[in-house]
Structure 1
């Protein structure tokens, strides 16, 4: 990787970390970015979050 490209990636990574209030380590940020990219490009199944069965009742029927 050349220096110009590396600098752009480093700047983008730092911006991503800062946008998450610095709550991510560098390694966590890279892992999250890769996981999101792999999922959005079909290499990983998308993460689906739903309600647990015990949380379901008639009030949350759509």
Structure 2
């Protein structure tokens, strides 16, 4: 990785951490960013919670 590229990534990471006060460490920020990206691109299941198909019946319809 070139120094210029690394600097841009590091600056973006610092901005992300500043915008997300619950992120305590650099490693947590990187993990969150990667998990979000992987989920949004179909590599990980989304974090949406829902009912399991076997738990659905007519009483669940809205």
TM bucket normalised to smaller: 0.7 to 0.9
RMSD: 1.7
SS at match of 2:32: helix
Structure 2 portions without partners, runs of 5+: 51-60
| TM superposition score normalised by structure 1 | 0.74
- Which runs of 4 or more aligned residues in structure 1 lie more than 4 Å from their structure 2 counterparts after TM superposition? none
TM-score (norm 2): 0.74
Paired residue total: 52
Q: Which runs of 5+ in 1 are unaligned?
A: 51-60
The aligned residue for residue 48 of structure 1 is 48
